[in-house]
Chain A
Amino acid sequence: MMKKPVKQIIQSFTLWELLKGLALTLKYFFKRKTTLQYPEEETPVSPRMRGALALRRYPNGEASNGEPSQGEERCIACRLCEAVCPALAITMDAQEREDGSRRTTRFDIDAFKCINCGFCEEACPVDAIVLTPEVHYTLERGTNILTKEKLLAIGEMYEKRLAKDREKDAPYR
């Protein structure tokens, strides 16, 4: 693209393009800033956020030991999550419980192997294993095996939010 030489000379001597650039930056000087001040502010989290792992319970009903506050655990040891897990992070053993229902006796997830892909959550027929939207957690060597008790505890901690997020996402499932 060749410009006419006269036009080019006038343009460069009036600093036209430099002034245009300066005008642009000056416009941005007065614009709203996009900085997010992290510890005080956070980005909005999607209900589909795949954070820490958890096992859920049913909202009501009695647990096996008769305590009314704890709902029955959802997991029926179908092993679909174990089969679908691409990182082989899930290890599980199952046995018949006293009341005749099939339950897990061992449900370990190695958080170091887990890649938070969410396949286990998709595979689960009873919405037992889920990924919470919580991302502020750390795992150190030694604490990386999440046992059934730990997973259920995490599930209890986030149950309200989990239920709400699932409700929100239900139309798209």
Chain B
Amino acid sequence: MQDQLLTLLGIVIKIVIIVLPLLLSVAYITFAERKVISYMQGRIGPNRVGLRGLGQPFADILKLITKELIFPTTSNRYLFILGPILTLAPALAGWAVVPFAKNWVLANVNAGILYIFALSSLGIYGILIAGWASNSKYSFFGALRSAAQMVSYEIAMGFTFVGVLLATNSLNLSDIVLKQSGGIWHWYWLPLLPLFMVYWVAGVAETNRAPFDVAEGESEIVAGFHVEYSGMMFALFFLAEYANMILISGIASIVFLGGWLSPFDGIPGLSALFAWVPGIVWFLLKISFFMFLYFWMRATFPRYRYDQIMHLGWKVLIPVTLVWLVVVALAVQFKIGPWFS
């Protein structure tokens, strides 16, 4: 009995160690996003609260906490509350299998990629339920669009994972990283470049971010599925969106950019010079790169029209992945290059 309690306590502590920094980083990623986007638009962004605006995220959080929760009279109250919870839970649960460095992982599941894929698909239910329960036209349209978009892009994303599976022979995220060891040219971004691109585009679409943010599309449907949400319940959606973004970035860096591996491995001189840097630093740097890419794309690209999204998803991304799957399969069969020998 006592042993079981201790194990439970250990797991809870581990969860807190992962989730707390995650939530903190979400707060500061919203700040970073505002800064990056305003810099790209020739503005300087928030700089009033605290030192150089660093208190801004906490001011925002405080505002959201103190706001009133409004339940529309025509809404379905239970589903209305369930929506944000169902969105946030998978976004946080996905982090259980992410290896931050060698052996730094909460649950070393053998089917790690499958687990992540399943959970990221679950997130759609929260959005769908939220849109339905609000009983508002805008929310309903947002939910419909979001559902259609996620269904079509999940297929392309699933196929990219098939390609990774072919290349690594494993679904365990730590194994996938270890298979890429040996230097920057051993990482899978090179042999799986089209899959990498497809994964990234599908990932951006999956998280409902610009240029695929039709589910929110503020110019036509106000705020999409979360129009009717206020205060903390809106904050939960916000939190889930950013946690999902970090998760997608994390998976991208694990699968295609060698996770915690140093980019200087295998380069004589440099590899010894940077040997002291802990793996998690490289991992976080890679995640930061992808987050910057998110903001960068948001500041650059206009939103896709709905039919363009469907065209891209079904007629471009899926054929590209299918073709490249064949190429990868052949490369593995004939043991080509430094990657599959």
Give chain A's interface residues, CB within 8 Å of chain B. Answer: 15, 18, 21-22, 24-26, 28-29, 31, 33-35, 37
Contact = CB atoms under 8 A, between A and B. Distances in A.
Nearest to B293: A22
B311 to A, nearest CB: 12
Given A33-B44, A35-B44, A22 B300 contact: yes
Q: Name the prevailing secondary structure of the B interface residues.
A: helix
Contacts of B301: 18, 21
B230 to A, nearest CB: 30
A29 B300 CA distance: 11
B296 A31 contact: no
8 contacts: A15-B197, A21-B300, A25-B296, A25-B300, A26-B296, A28-B40, A29-B36, A35-B43
B296 A34 contact: no
B332 interface: no
Contact of A25 (B44, B47, B197, B299): B299
Nearest to B194: A13
Interface in B98-125: none
Interface of B: 36, 39-44, 47, 197, 296-297, 299-301
Contacts of A29: 36, 39-40
Pairs A-B, 4 closest by C-beta atoms: A25-B300, A25-B40, A35-B44, A21-B300
A28 B41 contact: yes
A24 to B, nearest CB: 7
A122 B324 CA distance: 77
Contact of B297 (A22, A31, A34): A22
A35 B41 CA distance: 10
B42 A31 contact: yes
Nearest to A28: B40
A142 B36 CA distance: 48
Contacts of A26: 40, 296
Contacts of A24: 300
A84 B300 CA distance: 52
Contacts of A25: 40, 296, 299-300
Contacts of A18: 300-301
A21 B300 CA distance: 6
A34 B43 contact: yes
A120 to B, nearest CB: 40
A28 B47 CA distance: 19
A32 to B, nearest CB: 8
Contacts of B39: 28-29, 33
Given A29-B39, A33-B43, A35-B42, 15 more contacts: A15-B197, A18-B300, A21-B301, A25-B40, A28-B40, A28-B42, A29-B36, A29-B40, A33-B39, A33-B44, A34-B43, A35-B43, A35-B44, A37-B44, A37-B47
Contacts of B296: 22, 25-26
Contacts of B43: 33-35
B204 to A, nearest CB: 12
B71 to A, nearest CB: 39
B46 to A, nearest CB: 11
Contacts of A37: 44, 47
Contacts of B40: 25-26, 28-29
A46 to B, nearest CB: 24
A34 B300 contact: no
Nearest to B316: A12
Nearest to B43: A35
A152 to B, nearest CB: 40
A68 B301 CA distance: 69
Contacts of B44: 33, 35, 37
Pick from B42, B43, B296, B300 the residue with the most CB of A within 10 Å: B300
Contacts of B299: 25
A37 B43 CA distance: 10
